[in-house]
Amino acid sequence: MSDNEKRAHQRLEVNREFESVDDFVTEYVTNISRGGVFIRSKNPLPPGTEVNLKFSIVSDDFQMIEGVGRVVRIDETPENMGMGVLFTQLSAESEEAVNLLADRIEARLQAED
């Protein structure tokens, strides 16, 4: 069974705002689903760690996603080093934005099949 088949939600690409180029190189969100995000990081946090989340997605415009998550897995392979973070708390606006983006991407993927 592939990783995509094991996941409860389809993975979606995401952008993130950065305060500096160093932050961009060190850590960035590579995909998002209704349930969480994968954050590339040279220093992934251990599973169980609670993290505050703040990043932007592109839908009709830029929308800030804010909330709390918990690291549920880490990937230490050099080409994909990072951590899977499960959303544990999102603002109502953030949850709505994530769901809207997921709906659009899922509809597009189904239309391509």
The predicted pLDDT at position 13 comes to 36
The model's pTM: 0.71
| Per-residue pLDDT band at 29 (split at 50, 70, 90) | low
d(CA 13, CA 7): 15
Q: Does domain 3-112 have CATH number 3.40.50.720?
A: no
Mean of per-residue pLDDT scores for the chain: 76
| pLDDT exceeds 60 at position 7 | no
| pLDDT exceeds 60 at position 15 | no
Q: Residues 31-52: what's their mean pLDDT?
A: 87
- Report domain extents, the chain: 3-112
The predicted pLDDT at position 30 comes to 67
